[in-house]
Amino acid sequence: MTDKDLPAVFKVLRSEFKRFKIPAVTVVSVSTRDPYMVLVSCIISLRTKDEVTADASRRLFERAKTVEAMVELSEAKIAELIYPAGFYKTKSKTILEASKVILKDYDGIVPNDVDELTKLKGVGRKTANLVVTLGYGKPGICVDTHVHRITNHWGYVNTPTPDKTEVALREKLPKKYWIPINDLLVAYGQNLCKPVSPFCSECKIYEYCERVGVGRSR
């Protein structure tokens, strides 16, 4: 896949996105545009199914949707509210500690810079980029397993890890695609371009994809 293919590819991705379930973190960002709530829902979402993330985020935000309210909760209470999210005890500690740092060091305002966000313990580049793009609407590229896998399948990048993929995409991908690429490819990856045996026979961008690393498909 080359840059000249991108307009056609993203047109298809946007069209297909309409029939897929919207990722839980995107639902939070669209409904609130609140960087703090995006941050917390991102933390909850790691290694957790979307429906679980949505329910856990809703329960937690019913009790605390601001930094000030969150630090009033105990680690155990946060864990109770976000259960059964994966690693819920670890995530409750991350949420509480990050909230305390944001309140103390950033006057209660979530940083709008990726490098500042990754200073928060437990916040990686994927989460930081989501907060910057979805919470603040600033340019950034959030690369999760779906973006990493699919852009490598395309042959658009050749990278071994999501972090390396982010670097490569920042150098190569036109900026107008930076923010939407995560939502579009997460939905595409969850529904069609699956990690094991993707539905290549149903893929409307098949002609642009070099299928690098694709073994068995349907």
pLDDT tens profile 163-178 = 999 999 999 999 999 9
Residues 37, 122, single domain; the answer is yes
User: What is the percent of the chain with per-residue pLDDT over 90, rounded to a whole number?
Assistant: 86
CB of 17 closer than 8 Å to CB of 187: yes
Residue 109, domain CATH: 1.10.340.30
Look at residue 155 and tell me if it is in a domain.
yes
pLDDT of the residue at 167 = 96
Look at residue 79 and tell me if it is in a domain.
yes
Average pLDDT over residues 151-164: 97
Q: Which domain holds residue 109?
A: 33-136
> Helix crossing, 35-45 with 50-63: angle to 10°?
130
Residues 56, 100, single domain; the answer is yes
CB under 8 Å to 172, separation ≥6 — which residues?
A: 3, 156, 157
Q: What is the DSSP string of 114-176?
A: HHHHTTSTT--HHHHHHIIIIIH--------HHHHHHHHHHTS---SSHHHHHHHHHHHS-GG
pLDDT of the residue at 214 = 94
Average pLDDT over residues 110-124: 95
Tell me, yes or no, if the pTM score tops 0.95: no
Look at residue 26 and tell me if it is in a domain.
no
pLDDT tens profile 84-98 = 999 999 999 999 999
Residues 92, 163, single domain; the answer is no
Instruction: Name the pLDDT band for 207 (thresholds 50, 70, 90).
Output: very high
Instruction: Name the pLDDT band for 31 (thresholds 50, 70, 90).
Output: confident
pLDDT of the residue at 22 = 77
pLDDT of the residue at 47 = 87
Nearest CA-CA partner of 6 in 201, 163, 178, 199: 178
pLDDT of the residue at 208 = 97
Residues 126, 195, single domain; the answer is no
Average model confidence (pLDDT) across the chain: 94
Residues 116, 148, single domain; the answer is no
